[in-house]
Amino acid sequence: MDTVTHEVLDHLNLGILIVDEKLKILFQNRFMLRFIKRHSEDRKCGSLPELIPGFNSPYFQISLMDALEQGHSLFFSAAMHEKLIDSREKYNIRVTRFMEEDQKRLLLEFTEVTDSFERIRQLRESISQLRLLNQELKQKEKAIQSLAYYDQLTGVANRALFYELAEKFLRAAERNHEVLGLMFIDVDNFKQINDTYGHEAGDKVLVQVAGILTAATRRNDVVARYGGDEFLILLPQINAPDNYKIVVSKILQAKRDAIVCNGISVEICLSVGVSFYPQDGDSIDQLIVKADRAMYIAKKQEGDNWYYPAENI
Amino acid sequence: MDRECFRYDILSELFNIGMGKAADMLSEIVQKRIALQIPKIIIPETESGEQLGDQFSGFFDAALMVSTISFTNSLTGKANLVFPADKIKKFVALCSGEGSLAPEDTAFTDVDFDVIREIGNILLNCILGELGNLINIQLNYDLPQVAVYNRIDFNKDLDGEKNHSFMILFVTFLIDDTEIEGAVIIDLMVESFQELFRLLDGIEAGL
């Protein structure tokens, strides 16, 4: 090998090794010195397995002999042969046969890919951090959504969510020619409870009422706190006119004692008014007005725990 | 024996031997039991008008990672090892002992390409080596090129090849308890295809 070629190979940023048919090293460039740990400046050429003992394994022996015989190129990836080279650095190895006069030679190129591995490790770390961040964001988004759409005291839908769902239910009822029921529920003597036992007691009563209403309704019904001590229930897809009575009866039969403070329990009394699309109105506001009126009539005429269908007004 | 059947049988045996060798090599490298199964060899009729891509319908419906060796000399053509891209991450993890993967880890890296290049090198080397040994021919080829294709583009590439004939081997890799399906597509110039069959017929005549 002439001096210029030698010099050029020594300046390459990859390892170059040339071996003969017995895997004896004929040439190694300066880059390869990093594999000779004990004699860092010793460029004495031994055999390939002496330099890198991993090449003693049957797989490498067979592959290298096959490459010598058949002339096929080989590729050994750092990922699949992590332990081949005892070094922190990672190398891909490419093997090519060439002929020097009548002699078969193998050229081995060692390309450092440590940077790729490090980049991938960092990428994985970033992905993992992003995943955690994404989870946190989803949780926060859920919390924000909950704040925007749910009543913080009782956990049922707030007025915003009620209107959003009510419009959807109304459009579906129009489209499918279905009956949509709306209940207006008011807690009797709520002001008195507040004045007598305090606002904390009043809050406990409202939580209990929300629980009663939720338990009495079907899965697709929507219970919402309309404001103060007023609740609304949307009853979509009422097939038979009297179906709403089942819900009313469940509300009325529910256990009504709320423990408000110091073991004192207060009986909860509710007044319920009902209206229906399409007979009582074709907008949500009209249905609310009708159900509200029915509720007031129920409260005045029938006393606690009763309801008054809007069509009877 | 029917000549067609003989050709299929001899090719099946040849590919099975090649696959067996490749499986042994891969098992040694990854220190796991790897088995390679070839359920069937398909040689699509070029005259039937059926699109080659139709053969893959149901097998590969999305992106593909393809490792390709181009060979010349006695036969001219390409050998492709094809994997559905969505299985590559798992395959690479199993082969490189990386362990479990995060579900979001879907972008291909240099390492994925390197591993598929090496597996393609081993497998296609074994198949082409066996083919060369059996019919006593010399094939010249270099290392595989690895690329990711949209399935439609890959089909178009195959279907657009004029004067080519194909052999398709659907391959199942069994690594421990995991099955990963792939395919080997051997794409030969028509003259090389005819030459291959002429050489196979010569073997039959010699039996």
User: Is the sign of the CA dihedral A242, A247, A250, A256 positive or negative?
Assistant: negative
Residue A11 lies in a domain: yes
User: Quick one: A63 and A210 in the same domain?
Assistant: no
Which of B31, B118, B137 to mutate against chain A (most A CBs within 10 Å)?
A: B118
- CB-based burial label for A131 (10 Å; 0-12, 13-18, 19+): middle
Q: Tell me how far apart the alpha carbons of residues B80 and B167 are, in angstroms, rounded to a whole number.
A: 10
User: Quick one: A49 and A171 in the same domain?
Assistant: no
Q: What is the 3-state secondary structure (H, E, C) of B115-127?
A: HHHHHHHHHHHHH
Q: Which CATH number fits domain B3-206: 3.30.9.10, 3.40.50.720, 3.40.1550.10, 3.40.50.410?
A: 3.40.1550.10
| Owning domain of residue A94 | 3-112
b/e B191-206 (16+ beta carbons within 10 angstroms → b): ebbebbbebbeeeeee
**What is the per-residue pLDDT for A138?**
92
Domain ranges of chain B: 3-206
Residue A97 lies in a domain: yes
pTM, 2 dp: 0.61
User: Quick one: A101 and A231 in the same domain?
Assistant: no
User: Quick one: A182 and A71 in the same domain?
Assistant: no
Q: Are B186 and B82 in contact (CB under 8 A)?
A: no
Long-range contacts of A79-82 (CB under 8 A, 24+ apart): A79/B92, A79/B95, A79/B96, A79/B111, A79/B114, A79/B115, A80/B29, A80/B30, A80/B95, A80/B96, A80/B115, A80/B118, A81/A54, A81/B29, A82/B96, A82/B97
Of A95, A112, A129, the position where a domain reaches its end is A112
Residue A137 lies in a domain: no
Segment B155-171 shows an average pLDDT of 79
Q: Does A79 touch chain B (CB under 8 A)?
A: yes
Residue A277 lies in a domain: yes
Residue A141 lies in a domain: no
User: Quick one: A165 and A73 in the same domain?
Assistant: no
Q: Does B30 touch chain A (CB under 8 A)?
A: yes
pLDDT surpassing 60 at residue A312? no
CA dihedral angle for residue A286, residue A292, residue A298, residue A301, rounded to 10 degrees: -90
A80/B118 touch (CB, cutoff 8 Å), yes or no: yes
Instruction: pLDDT band for B95, please (50, 70, 90 cuts).
Output: confident
Kindly report the CATH number assigned to the domain that includes residue A235: 3.30.70.270
Say which residue, B10 or A99, is predicted with more confidence: A99
Q: Are B164 and B138 in contact (CB under 8 A)?
A: no
| Chain B residues near residue A74 by CB distance under 8 angstroms | 121, 125, 143
User: Quick one: A164 and A282 in the same domain?
Assistant: yes
Residue A188 among the catalytic residues: no
pLDDT surpassing 90 at residue A22? yes
User: Quick one: A85 and A212 in the same domain?
Assistant: no
Structure tokens at A125: 């770390």
Of A112, A143, A162, the position where a domain reaches its end is A112
DSSP of B54-93: GGGTTT--S-EEEEEEEEEESS-EEEEEEEEHHHHHHHHH
User: Quick one: A166 and A306 in the same domain?
Assistant: yes
Residue A225 lies in a domain: yes
Of A89, A112, A135, the position where a domain reaches its end is A112
Q: What is the ipTM of this complex?
A: 0.80
b/e A133-145 (16+ beta carbons within 10 angstroms → b): eeeeeeeeeeeee
Instruction: pLDDT band for A182, please (50, 70, 90 cuts).
Output: very high
Q: Are A85 and A15 in contact (CB under 8 A)?
A: no
User: Quick one: A293 and A200 in the same domain?
Assistant: yes
Q: Does A194 touch chain B (CB under 8 A)?
A: no
SS3 assignment, position A216: helix
Name which of A31-40, A65-74, A146-155 the model is least confident about: A31-40
User: Quick one: A168 and A291 in the same domain?
Assistant: yes
pLDDT surpassing 60 at residue A70? yes
A77/B104 touch (CB, cutoff 8 Å), yes or no: no
B107/A77 touch (CB, cutoff 8 Å), yes or no: no
Chain mean position to CA B32: 21
User: Quick one: A174 and A278 in the same domain?
Assistant: yes
pLDDT digits 0-9 by tens, A31-41? 988 877 654 45
Total domains in chain A come to 2
| Chain A residues near residue B110 by CB distance under 8 angstroms | 113, 116, 120
Kindly report the CATH number assigned to the domain that includes residue A20: 3.30.450.20
User: Quick one: A285 and A212 in the same domain?
Assistant: yes
| Chain B residues near residue A63 by CB distance under 8 angstroms | 25
> Looking at the partner chain, which of A76, A117, A131 has a beta carbon nearest the beta carbon of B118?
A76
